[in-house]
């Protein structure tokens, strides 16, 4: 699949989508909004939010499978290791003329640089967690997360 984002676009999203703080209550509101959007559109997704590597929200909608949980863990590890969205990390390798798998040689059973995982960034602090959607094509997973973050931060 060809990614429709340039690295500069993905970096701009990360600069834009930052919190002043991020609490367990924020995780509940963000996760609930993603679930509501998924239900409204009948999407077979799983949603996961962790804060300081502690799972604070998880939901699986009709049609989601245990495989989605595996994708969530693998995409989350990419964000935790590199500090950027999973799609950003994937695109960075592509723009360097390689693939994530070739460039880093990490176990694909543990790491998946596919869109859908986004760092929860606190301005002047950095990443404090990860929000992930799994179940759609990777760019759609990414867009769903970005849309929910934008709406939450405007809220």
- Domain span at residue 59? 7-154
Q: Quick one: tokens of 62?
A: 């009709």
Residue 98: per-residue pLDDT: 97
Residue 2 included in any domain = no
Q: Is residue 70 part of a domain?
A: yes
The per-residue pLDDT for range 39-77, each reduced to its tens digit, is 999 999 999 999 999 999 999 999 999 999 999 999 999
Going by pLDDT thresholds of 50, 70 and 90, the confidence category of residue 3 is very low
**Structure confidence at residue 5 (pLDDT):** 85
For residues 34 and 24, what is the distance between their CA atoms, to the nearest angstrom? 15
- Evaluate whether residue 48 is within a structural domain: yes
**What digits encode the pLDDT tens for the residues 9-20?**
999 999 999 999
User: How many distinct structural domains can be found in the chain?
Assistant: 1
User: Quick one: pLDDT at residue 1?
Assistant: 45
- State what percent of residues in the chain have pLDDT above 90: 96
For residue 61, what are its two tokens?
Answer: 């909608």
State yes or no: pLDDT of 121 exceeds 50: yes
- Contact call for residues 33 and 152 (beta carbons, < 8 A): yes
**63 domain-assigned:** yes
Core vs surface per residue 45-62: b (16+ CB within 10 A) or e: bbbbbbbeeeebbebbbe
What's the CATH code of the domain at 27? Answer: 3.30.450.150
Residue 138 lies in a domain: yes
Is residue 76, in this structure, part of any structural domain at all? yes
**Is residue 1 a part of any domain in this protein?**
no
């Amino acid at each position: 699949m060809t990614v429709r984002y340039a690295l500069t676009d993905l970096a701009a999203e990360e600069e834009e989508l930052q919190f002043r703080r991020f609490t367990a209550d924020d995780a509940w509101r963000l996760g609930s909004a993603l679930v509501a959007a998924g239900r409204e559109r009948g999407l077979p997704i799983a949603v996961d939010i962790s804060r300081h590597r502690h799972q604070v929200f998880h939901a699986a909608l009709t049609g989601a499978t245990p495989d989605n949980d595996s994708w969530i863990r693998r995409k989350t590890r990419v964000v935790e290791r590199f500090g950027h969205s999973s799609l950003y990390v994937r695109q960075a390798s592509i723009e360097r003329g390689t693939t994530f798998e070739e460039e880093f040689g990490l176990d694909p059973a543990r790491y998946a640089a596919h869109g859908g995982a986004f760092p929860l960034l606190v301005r002047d602090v950095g990443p404090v967690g990860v929000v992930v959607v799994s179940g759609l094509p990777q760019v759609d997973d990414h867009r769903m997360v970005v849309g929910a973050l934008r709406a939450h931060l405007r809220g």
